[in-house]
């Protein structure tokens, strides 16, 4: 039940080990003319790896993270790490923010300043990610994580709170709103057309419900096909063999870097600073959480517990919006719906000002 203060302090020996591994890395050849078609291009990854080794200042990023109060607690046998930034206003709205994959609490650093005046911010690391490691065992599904979040908010003394998330964080937030609807004031999630189409590939019978003569349905179908044939390889191996890929992710900084850098390239529309990317990769590397994250994705793929549909006010921010999303997202008619032309999978990093404005408008400065 105790909540302990926490500060990030990666040992110098771990930094030296990372730099040595990067300097001694073995590089595969790149087939001529393949570009990004077969994975991260050689020269792109070489540039990132060299900056990670000789130009990236981890200590500056560590200090940036440590500028915000952090804590750990144990819930359901699992160590949980979280940022907890209290507003100076006693009537501020508590807001629980959950990241997805491949991400971390660092995704939300650009939101804290714009929101901290009117919100008490609770930003946990998912079980098995970053400093919520090691993963305590099997069974950490989205629903179980949602129950842990409900307990976390109870321990922090918040009887009423809002929830927000994207990717896996959106699923956890929706599950939490269903599980703890008595205490959740509202559910806000972010999505984009490509994520919505990729998610649709897991809905039984979805492909058969699409009309190939309808241009919107055809676009959805094309994106679903593209995800199945060209975009789901990373998920297939994590959903089936998380232990096997885990060996490489915790032993090779190049693999961990390529694994995440590929998704940042494919899933973003607006540029993300490479130091922001390397901060996320570093959190995975120093904590060995590439394997833990893979195991949680496996759990989600094999779970049949999806919780109770939320019965709280709902808000959606759609980035890179087009006509497909309204057809794919089962949003209630009364839901707050905001569309943005630019941005995609990581709007807290790509468009933090726009996302902060959406959250403030949905939850209200004194909700």
What's the mean pLDDT when you consider all of the chain? 96
Out of 81, 298, 340, 358, the active site residue is 298
Residue 225's domain comprises: 3-22+39-363
- Nearest Cα neighbor of 301 from 182, 202, 158 is 202
Tell me if 31 is assigned to some domain. Answer: no
Helix (H) or strand (E) segment spanning residue 164 = strand 161-166
What is the pLDDT at residue 367? Answer: 40
User: pLDDT digit string (tens) for 39-91?
Assistant: 999 999 999 999 999 999 999 999 999 999 999 999 999 999 999 999 999 89
Out of 99, 120, 188, 345, the active site residue is 345
Q: What does the block give as tokens for 164?
A: 């927000």
Query: The domain spanning residue 80 has which CATH number?
Result: 3.40.50.1820
345 is catalytic: yes
What is the pLDDT at residue 266? Answer: 96
Q: How many domains does the chain fold into?
A: 1
User: pLDDT digit string (tens) for 307-318?
Assistant: 788 999 999 999
CB atoms within 10 A of CB 299: 21
| Burial status of residue 366 (CB atoms within 10 A of its CB: 0-12, 13-18, 19 or more) | exposed
The pLDDT-based confidence of 246 (bands split at 50, 70, 90) is very high
Cα(141)–Cα(73) distance, rounded to whole angstroms? 19
Give, in order, the Cα–Cα distances in Å from 106 to each of 32, 64, 187, 205, 278. Answer: 36, 9, 21, 37, 10
Tell me if 241 is assigned to some domain. Answer: yes
The stretch 353-366 carries a mean pLDDT of 89
Cα(160)–Cα(181) distance, rounded to whole angstroms? 10
User: pLDDT digit string (tens) for 278-325?
Assistant: 999 999 999 999 999 999 999 999 998 877 889 999 999 999 999 999
pLDDT at 366 over 50: no
What is the pLDDT at residue 309? Answer: 83
101 is catalytic: no
pLDDT at 1 over 90: no
User: pLDDT digit string (tens) for 177-222?
Assistant: 999 999 999 999 999 999 999 999 999 999 999 999 999 999 999 9
pTM reported for the whole predicted model: 0.96
Tell me if 28 is assigned to some domain. Answer: no
Tell me if 105 is assigned to some domain. Answer: yes
What is the pLDDT at residue 308? Answer: 81
Tell me if 34 is assigned to some domain. Answer: no
Q: What angle do CA 163, 165, 171 make, to 5 degrees?
A: 95
Tell me if 27 is assigned to some domain. Answer: no
Tell me if 224 is assigned to some domain. Answer: yes
What is the pLDDT at residue 7? Answer: 98
Q: What does the block give as tokens for 304?
A: 């049949």
Tell me if 132 is assigned to some domain. Answer: yes
Out of 118, 167, 192, 358, the active site residue is 167
User: pLDDT digit string (tens) for 100-146?
Assistant: 999 999 999 999 999 999 999 999 999 999 999 999 999 999 999 99
167 is catalytic: yes
């Amino acid at each position: 039940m105790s909540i302990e203060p926490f500060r990030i302090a990666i040992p110098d020996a771990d930094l030296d080990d990372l730099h040595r591994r990067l300097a001694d890395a073995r590089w595969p050849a790149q087939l001529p003319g393949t570009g990004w078609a077969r994975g991260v291009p050689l020269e792109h990854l070489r540039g990132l790896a060299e900056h990670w080794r000789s130009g990236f200042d981890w200590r500056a990023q560590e200090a940036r993270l440590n500028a915000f109060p952090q804590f750990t607690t144990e819930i359901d046998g699992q160590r949980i790490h979280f940022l907890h930034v209290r507003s100076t206003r006693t009537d501020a709205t508590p807001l629980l923010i959950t990241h997805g994959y491949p991400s971390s609490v660092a995704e939300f650093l650009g939101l804290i300043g714009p929101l901290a005046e009117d919100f008490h911010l609770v930003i946990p690391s998912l079980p098995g990610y970053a400093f919520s490691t090691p993963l305590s065992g099997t069974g950490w599904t989205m629903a179980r994580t949602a129950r842990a979040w409900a307990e976390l908010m109870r321990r922090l003394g918040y009887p009423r709170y809002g929830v927000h998330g994207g990717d896996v964080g959106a699923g956890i937030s929706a599950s939490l709103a269903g599980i703890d609807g008595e205490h959740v004031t509202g559910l806000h999630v972010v999505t984009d057309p490509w994520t919505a189409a990729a998610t649709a590939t897991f809905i039984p019978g979805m492909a058969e419900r699409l009309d190939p003569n309808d241009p919107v349905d055809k676009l959805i179908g094309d994106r679903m096909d593209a995800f199945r044939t060209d975009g789901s390889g990373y998920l297939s191996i994590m959903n089936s063999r998380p232990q096997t890929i885990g060996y490489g992710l915790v032993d090779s900084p190049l693999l961990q870097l390529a694994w995440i850098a590929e998704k940042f390239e494919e899933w973003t529309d607006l540029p993300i600073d490479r130091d922001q990317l390397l901060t996320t990769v570093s959190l995975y590397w120093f904590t060995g959480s590439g394997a833990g994250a893979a195991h949680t994705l496996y759990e989600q793929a094999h779970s049949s517990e999806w919780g109770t549909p939320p019965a709280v006010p709902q808000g959606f921010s759609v980035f890179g919006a087009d006509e497909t999303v309204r057809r794919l997202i089962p949003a209630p008619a009364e839901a707050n719906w905001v569309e943005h032309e630019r941005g995609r999978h990581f709007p807290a990093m790509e468009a933090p000002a726009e996302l902060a404005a959406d959250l403030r408008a949905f939850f209200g400065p004194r909700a």
